[in-house]
Structure 1
């Protein structure tokens, strides 16, 4: 139950950032992707959402995800 509550709280916080977004934004898709996987990388975001590398990094920055790898290259993000 702790994990469920943690994920529900994270989803609510991320959905607050979606309120004033355009209808064509990829941010809602990224929220669902982050909640369905323990880690996401730039390559995974690029392939799934059909965005550029810089676009993927911008989307991650808008959601304020926590970087899990601690590296400059080949980074991965997730919800803690």
Structure 2
């Protein structure tokens, strides 16, 4: 039950960051894949949102995901 509560809280925090965004923003499209996989990479985000890897990296940082790998290359982010 703790894990469920943690994921619900994480979704709520992500949805708060979506308010006030432009309607053309790709940020809302990222919430569902992140909650489904819990660990995403730049390549996965870029492919899902159909954006460049640089834009995908920026979108991941805007959403507030936590970097899980501790590496400079081949990073993966997950829900806090």
TM-score (norm 1): 0.95
1:61 partnered with 2:69:
no
1:38 partnered with 2:35:
no
What is the distance in 1 between the residues matched to 2:15 and 2:58? Answer: 17
Q: How many residues align?
A: 80
What is the distance in 2 between the residues matched to 1:38 and 1:13? Answer: 15
What is the distance in 1 between the residues matched to 2:53 and 2:19? Answer: 24
Taking the TM superposition and a 5 Å limit, the aligned residue runs for 1:1-80 are 1-80=1-80
What is the distance in 1 between the residues matched to 2:38 and 2:58? Answer: 20
What is the distance in 1 between the residues matched to 2:8 and 2:29? Answer: 16
Root mean square deviation, CA, Å: 0.8
Unaligned runs of 5+ in 1: none
Unaligned runs of 5+ in 2: none
1:24-54 deviations in whole A, cap 9, x for unaligned?
1111111111111021000000111101111
